[in-house]
Chain A
Amino acid sequence: MHISDGILNSTVSLSSLAVSSGIFLWSLKGIRNQDLSKTALMTAALFVGSLIHIPVGPSSVHLLLTGLAGILLGRGAYAALAIAVALQAMLFQFGGVTAIGANTIMMGIPALIAAWLFHGILKRFGKKVAVPAGAVGGAVSVLLASLFLALFLWITGEQFREVAVLAVTAQIPVMVIEAIITGFMAGFIVKVKPELLWTSNLTPDDNKS
């Protein structure tokens, strides 16, 4: 789910790059020194995760892991995704270099929303709902990413509107898979090593509960 070079017009491409750069710096600033190694590890996971393909009918889909990134890194998820997306574009031509801004917004903002959703649910209902909260975060992040993708294609031109609709429907299996993976990962982490979670909006008591 990466937009290639030459698809977006220059206005969309440049404005998305400008917006994305601002959010990237904000995100970088929010990474605590002690979280840098975790962020680097998650960046590597995001970078490799997108290369794992699952056959679905005549096509195949790949994991996004944006929900998991948001849950683990919070604000830092955007920076991690930006670096992963940029490297995928430059090393594998997986997504266009001119579309890095759009591709990062497409993945990064859903990750931030997933983080907000997950930690909001956890704060309200406690860690017993970690699995469903993670599943919601995972599913919502994929849904939003596909909607962002559709939006970018839609505003680019009429010729891509058919693909825009297809882009959303094709992500439904990914949504389910990501919900399951993120839910179980979140449940496992909360149970085994809750300090791995991004907890800047949780009090120590919330984390222990």
Chain B
Amino acid sequence: MRRIQLITLYAIAIIILIMTQTAEAHKLNLFLITEDGNLQVEGYFASGAPAMNCKVIVKDDRTGKVLVTGTTDKEGVALLPLPEGWSGTLLVELKASLGHMATAKLAVQPDNPKSDDKEINRELSTSSNIEGATHKSSEPQNHNQSVSQKPVLHHHVTGFSIRDILAGIGVIAIIYTGISFLKKRNFFNQ
């Protein structure tokens, strides 16, 4: 009878696990867009929640001098004016509270610092580096962007699906059934 109960418990836990899909990583995605001499910074989490009220610091990558700072709005967007005629490599830092700290580099060529081109980088994965960006115009690429993301502390904004939570509880049931099994055989007292 006891064995049947144990097998049933395992079966339930395994069914829950099979039903479950792995939760998506809670990544901070960073988009940089340059337009009319302005830098638009967009930050949002993989869940779709915007990284709102996050501090944005734009520095000269070479000297470390802060060029402009700002804060993202409720949509996770900050529009920052770049210094007129400025060229070089920008270092953009997005500080999402305790959640994530993302950094991005953007090289601005001296020949066309106020390009109308929009430059959009793809979604970033943790600690990844992406060189270059997708240009919407046929003109030669005048920006070179490399972005890296370094989450310091995980800090969730949105909830999780019931399925993910049930999976975790199922695994907990399995683990403690195993511990109970081992304890009954004095495994930990050997």
Which single member of B150, B154, B183 contacts A2 (CB below 8 Å)? Answer: B154
Are the CB atoms of B183 and A87 closer together than 8 Å?
Answer: no
Once the chains bind, are B26 and A92 in contact (CB under 8 Å)? yes
Residues of B within 8 A of A153 (CB): 152
* A39 and B176 contacting across the interface, CB-CB below 8 Å: yes
Q: Contact check, A51 vs B159: say whether CB atoms are below 8 A apart.
A: yes
- Distance in angstroms from B74 CB to nearest chain A CB is 10
B89 within 8 A of A: no
Closest to A40 in B: B176
Complex contact A43–B25 (CB within 8 A): no
Closest Cβ–Cβ distance, residue A178 to chain B (whole Å): 17
Q: Is the CB of B164 within 8 A of A91?
A: yes
Q: Specify which of A31, A47, A51, A149 is in contact with B172 (CB 8 Å cutoff).
A: A47
Per-residue CB contact flags for chain B residues 154-190 toward chain A (1 = under 8 Å, else 0) read: 1111011000110111011101100110011000110
Residues on B with C-beta less than 8 A from A33 are 180, 183-184
- By a CB distance below 8 angstroms, the chain A residues around B157 are 53, 60
Q: A206 interface residue, CB < 8 Å from B?
A: no
Residue in A4, A51, A96 whose Cβ sees the most chain B Cβ within 10 Å: A4
Chain A residues within 8 Å of B53, by CB: 58-59
- By a CB distance below 8 angstroms, the chain B residues around A170 are 97-98
* B22 on interface, CB distance cutoff 8 Å: yes
Contact, CB under 8 Å: B176 / A43 = yes
Chain A residue at minimum C-beta to C-beta distance from B169: A44
Residues of B within 8 A of A87 (CB): 168, 171-172
Q: Cβ of B26: which chain A residues have Cβ within 8 Å of it? A: 92-94
Of the candidates B126, B165, B183, B189, the one whose C-beta lies within 8 Å of that of A6 is: B126
What is the distance, in angstroms, from A39's C-beta to the closest C-beta of chain B? 7
Contact yes or no, B172 A93, CB < 8 A: no
Whether a CB of chain A sits under 8 angstroms from the CB of B101 is yes
User: Do A94 and B156 have beta carbons less than 8 Å apart?
Assistant: yes
Q: Given A51-B160, A58-B53, A166-B98, are A44 and B167 also a contact pair (CB < 8 Å)?
A: no
- CB atoms of B184 and A3 under 8 A apart: no
A160 interface residue per 8 A CB criterion: yes
Report chain B residues within 8 Å CB of A43.
Answer: 172, 175-176
The answer to whether B151 has its CB under 8 Å from any CB of chain A is yes
CB distance from B37 to the nearest CB of A (A): 28
Partner-A contacts on B (CB < 8 A): 22-23, 25-26, 52-53, 97-99, 101, 126-127, 150-157, 159-160, 164-165, 167-169, 171-173, 175-176, 179-180, 183-184, 188-189
Considering the complex of A and B, which 7 residue pairs feature the smallest CB-CB distances, nearest first?
A58-B53, A40-B176, A59-B97, A93-B25, A4-B151, A29-B188, A2-B154
Using a CB–CB distance below 8 Å, which chain A residues touch chain B?
A: 1-7, 25, 28-29, 31, 33, 36-37, 39-40, 43-44, 47-48, 51, 53, 58-60, 62, 83-84, 87-88, 91-96, 149, 153, 160, 163, 166-167, 170
Chain A to chain B contacts (Cβ below 8 Å), 22 pairs:
A1-B98, A4-B154, A28-B188, A31-B179, A31-B183, A33-B184, A36-B180, A40-B175, A43-B175, A47-B165, A48-B165, A51-B160, A59-B53, A91-B171, A92-B26, A92-B160, A93-B25, A94-B26, A94-B154, A96-B154, A163-B153, A167-B153
